[in-house]
Amino acid sequence: MHSFLNDYSEGAHPKVLQALTESNLRQTCGYGLDPDCQKAADLIRKLCNAPDAAVHFLVGGTQTNLVAIDALLKPYEAVIAASTGHVSRHETGAIEASGHKVCTVSAPDGKLTPELVESVLNDHDGTEHMVSPRFVYISNTTETGTVYNLKELQALRACCDTHGLLLYLDGARLGSAIAAGGPSLPELAALTDAFYIGGTKNGALFGEALVLARPQADFRWYIKRRGAMLAKGRLLGIQFQALLEDGLYFDIARHANELALRLREGVRTLGYPLMVESPSNQQFFILPKTVFSKLTAQGCEFEVEWEKADQVCIRLVTSWATPPAAIDEFLQALAAV
């Protein structure tokens, strides 16, 4: 049976792999200073309508978050994040390992609002006895599959401007967010101080493209100092070109979302509640334990989000690689138990 464990269960989209294969024996210099990274960066600047932005390619999401925070903040400046945020919960203290506090606030649907950001600010007195919250971390889609829309992002931008904060968007699943109606690349480039276009979970073997609204001359020092500079950096440039040069990135995100919504509607029709109304490629369903056990006994694979006495909340993730038949297969299995 198809596994819905993750959107990184397979390798790369065939077109990406083909690009890697075709370029394989070409010689270039290393560390991301090669023509392929240049072209990919130019393409991203064009798609973002941000000719002055800087683009850096990194290998993974946690790495990108920690390098960006390290480079953009002073040591005593802190991150504001939802308590469900990836930097808060799922990075083994990588941000703290670089010396920065992450100030968390509970956000029921995983989304920060100006009010939540200000509640963190109000808890700090501006003196040298406390950290200075400076960096608003959001992700689109969020860790629970919800999606910030343009208006919400604009409101956060305004809040950041009012309080002198940086706005950063973790785009590990940015394709899915955009395909679900979230802010576009030019909107993201205009409204954030930095964001990244996630490749790992949307068609690449690996790779994240970090876009900085304002280039920082020494940014590459921060990359290298964290062991985050890929020797064959061109692998990142080649993949992002393949994903972005003719819209593949968005096509496959749309595919993943469509299957996710079919899954959602199918489960809803069968009468099981959703944990959250997600328009994106992560879906969370609440099942009775007996149903859950029968499904897993049949070999259905997904993650468990939480478990209570009688209920289990499961997460199913779709991707570019999910075959439509897998949706039917899962829904039939669920209907049968």
Of 216-245, binders to its own copies (CB under 8 A) are 218, 220-232, 235
Q: In the bound complex, what is the minimum distance in angstroms from residue 84's beta carbon to its own copies? A: 10
Residues in the interface with its own copies (CB under 8 A) total: 75
Which of 128, 151, 271, 308 is the binder for its own copies (CB under 8 A)? 128
Which of 15, 113, 130, 329 is the binder for its own copies (CB under 8 A)? 130
Tell me: does residue 26 bind its own copies (CB under 8 A). yes
Tell me: does residue 132 bind its own copies (CB under 8 A). yes
Distance CA 108, CA 131 (A): 25
Tell me: does residue 308 bind its own copies (CB under 8 A). no
Tell me: does residue 90 bind its own copies (CB under 8 A). yes
Strand arrangement, sheet containing 311-317 = 282-288, 311-317, 303-307
Looking at beta carbons only, is 25 or 325 nearer to its own copies? Answer: 25
Question: Binding string to its own copies for residues 153 to 192, with x set by CB under 8 A, is what?
Answer: ----------------------------------------
Looking at beta carbons only, is 172 or 178 nearer to its own copies? Answer: 172
Looking at beta carbons only, is 130 or 274 nearer to its own copies? Answer: 130
Tell me: does residue 38 bind its own copies (CB under 8 A). no
Tell me: does residue 23 bind its own copies (CB under 8 A). yes
Tell me: does residue 8 bind its own copies (CB under 8 A). yes
| Window 108 to 127, contacts with its own copies (CB under 8 A) | 123
Which of 37, 44, 82, 102 is the binder for its own copies (CB under 8 A)? 102
Distance CA 102, CA 93 (A): 9
Which of 42, 49, 93, 335 is the binder for its own copies (CB under 8 A)? 93
Question: Binding string to its own copies for residues 50 to 89, with x set by CB under 8 A, is what?
Answer: ---------xxxxxxxxx--x---xxx-x----------x
Which of 15, 96, 163, 251 is the binder for its own copies (CB under 8 A)? 96
Q: Residue 220: is it exposed, middle or buried by C-beta count within 10 angstroms (0-12/13-18/19+)? A: middle
Query: What's the chain look like in SS3?
Result: CCECCCCCCCCCCHHHHHHHHHCCCCCCCCCCCCHHHHHHHHHHHHHCCCCCCEEEEECCHHHHHHHHHHHHCCCCEEEEEECCCHHHHCCCCHHHHCCCCEEEECCCCCCCCHHHHHHHHHCCCCCCCCCEEEEEEEECCCCCCCCCCHHHHHHHHHHHHHHCCEEEEECCCHHHHHHCCCCCHHHHHHHCCEEEEECCCCCCCCCEEEEECCCCCCHHHHHHHCCCCCCCCHHHHHHHHHHHCCCHHHHHHHHHHHHHHHHHHHHHHCCCCECCCCCCCEEEEEEEHHHHHHHHHCCCECEEEEECCCEEEEEEECCCCCCHHHHHHHHHHHHHC
Q: In the bound complex, what is the minimum distance in angstroms from residue 20's beta carbon to its own copies? A: 6
Looking at beta carbons only, is 72 or 189 nearer to its own copies? Answer: 72
Q: In the bound complex, what is the minimum distance in angstroms from residue 92's beta carbon to its own copies? A: 4
Q: In the bound complex, what is the minimum distance in angstroms from residue 248's beta carbon to its own copies? A: 16
